[in-house]
Amino acid sequence: MSTPLEHWRDELGFIPHLPGAPEAINADSFDEDVLESPLPVLVEFWAARCGPCRRLAPEMAAVAEQFAGRVRVFTLNVDEELEAARRFGVLSIPATLLFVCGEEKGRILGLTDRDALVQLLRPHLNEPAE
């Protein structure tokens, strides 16, 4: 199943920043963009060499699109930001972490789907279930 953003994905699975799409993040801006965010934040720790990470990219894009303005979605390349991965105890990828008010509130290890990501987010949104 493809998403409207599927055609933007390059051969490595990276989805460049587009409105409503996951944004690439690095250790320098992590605290400001993730831990200080007033919105819930999903961060996928990934690497270009990781097949499951590439398969997770469209699911992350779909969640970013569905919850645009209510949730921030980031990707962090562990090959470029190994210290950030270590900081949060990420030992395998893909790993998707949920942060709310600067605290980790959930974690999904391995390939997952949109429904599981939405279930992880739902309790932290101040809105009725769809």
Q: What is the pLDDT of residues 31-82, one digit of tens each?
A: 999 999 999 999 999 999 999 999 999 999 999 999 999 999 999 999 999 9
pLDDT at 5: 46
pLDDT at 4: 45
Residue 72 burial (C-beta neighbours within 10 Å; 0-12, 13-18, 19+)? buried
Catalytic site includes residue 53: yes
Catalytic site includes residue 101: no
- Residues 76-116 have pLDDT tens digits of 999 999 999 999 999 999 999 999 999 999 999 999 999 99
- Mean pLDDT for 19-40 is 87
| List 43, 53, 76, 84, catalytic entry | 53
| List 50, 62, 90, 118, catalytic entry | 50
C-alpha closest to that of 41 among 94, 99, 97, 119: 99
